[in-house]
Amino acid sequence: MTGIYDDPWAYELACSFRDVPAEVEVLLDWCKRHRVGAALPRTVLELAAGPAEHAREFARRGLTATALDLHPAMCAYADRTAAEAGLSLDVVQEDMTSFALGRRFDLVVTMLDSTSHLMTLDAFTAHLDRAAEHLTADGLYVLEMSHPRDRLGDDPSVSTGWTVERGTGIDAVHAAVRWGEPTDRLDPVTQIADDHVTMSITEGGATRVIRDVVPYRFWSATELIAAIRLSGALEVVAQYGDFAEVTLTDPAAWRMITVLRRASGGPAAE
């Protein structure tokens, strides 16, 4: 059976509700706001990058970009689409809890709640340690997660079902996505849910359906802060509820985005 990460083209289509260039613009603005000397980054590493849309956008803007993912199909797709667009992108197939690339980056990002694939506290803190180890002295790590309201509240901030359209006429592609069903409940002890994901993709009059069950580990806001302290390698610079000026506690917040830097008491970067 094909899973959602076995077909990166379909995954990228399903996630095309995002405005990736606009998100990259905000990431660069946060670098100006939070880095010493308002320095724009020259090197960027995207972790659990999947199709590496953000890394490719950074490369398009002239940054030296690296994309890391565990899944071979995602890595191959990121590599191929970057090459087809004439972009220079370094793609590495590694685990975000154990990678050691031997170089540091001005900006490290993990987008779209990819840390929900980290099922244990040990895995999460190992991930934070690895991210810190790959930051330059004044580098930033931006970690985008779902807003906790989506799993804890009665009023989720995002819909679990959406559609996307691309192209027109005979090139038109339509995707109907369901990411989670009402019966996909968090286990109250493990904080893990088995999310049932369905993507129905229609092109050229034919529809194919990709179904998958994706284990999702919910990380609460307080647990995130506790994990950061337990790691000790990073400290929080700011938190946002959107790729805008929305605070985490604002009713309009729909993401939990944390900007981190190397902890002042941590090991010095070369």
Binding residues vs ligand SAM (CB under 6 A) = 5, 15, 48-50, 53, 69-71, 74, 95-97, 111-112, 114, 117
Minimum Å gap between C-beta 188 and ligand SAM is 23
Closer CB to ligand SAM, 142 or 233, in the complex:
142
Beta bridge partners of 67: 46, 91
Can you list the positions of beta strands (E) in the chain?
A: 43-47, 64-69, 89-93, 105-110, 135-146, 161-166, 173-179, 192-203, 206-217, 234-240, 255-262
**Phi then psi dihedrals of residue 62, to 5 deg:** 95, 5
DSSP 23-92: HHHHHHHHHHHHSGGGPPPSEEEEES-TT-HHHHHHHHTT-EEEEEES-HHHHHHHHHHHHHTT--EEEE
Closer CB to ligand SAM, 39 or 76, in the complex:
76
Closer CB to ligand SAM, 94 or 235, in the complex:
94
Minimum Å gap between C-beta 48 and ligand SAM is 3
251: buried, middle or exposed (CB in 10 Å: 19+, 13-18, 0-12)?
exposed
Minimum Å gap between C-beta 4 and ligand SAM is 8
Closer CB to ligand SAM, 98 or 137, in the complex:
98
Closer CB to ligand SAM, 126 or 237, in the complex:
126
Minimum Å gap between C-beta 206 and ligand SAM is 25
Task: Give the C-alpha separation, 247 to 256, whole Å.
Answer: 9
Task: Give the C-alpha separation, 213 to 195, whole Å.
Answer: 5
Residue sitting closest to ligand SAM (CB): 50
Closer CB to ligand SAM, 73 or 224, in the complex:
73
Minimum Å gap between C-beta 40 and ligand SAM is 21
Minimum Å gap between C-beta 51 and ligand SAM is 6
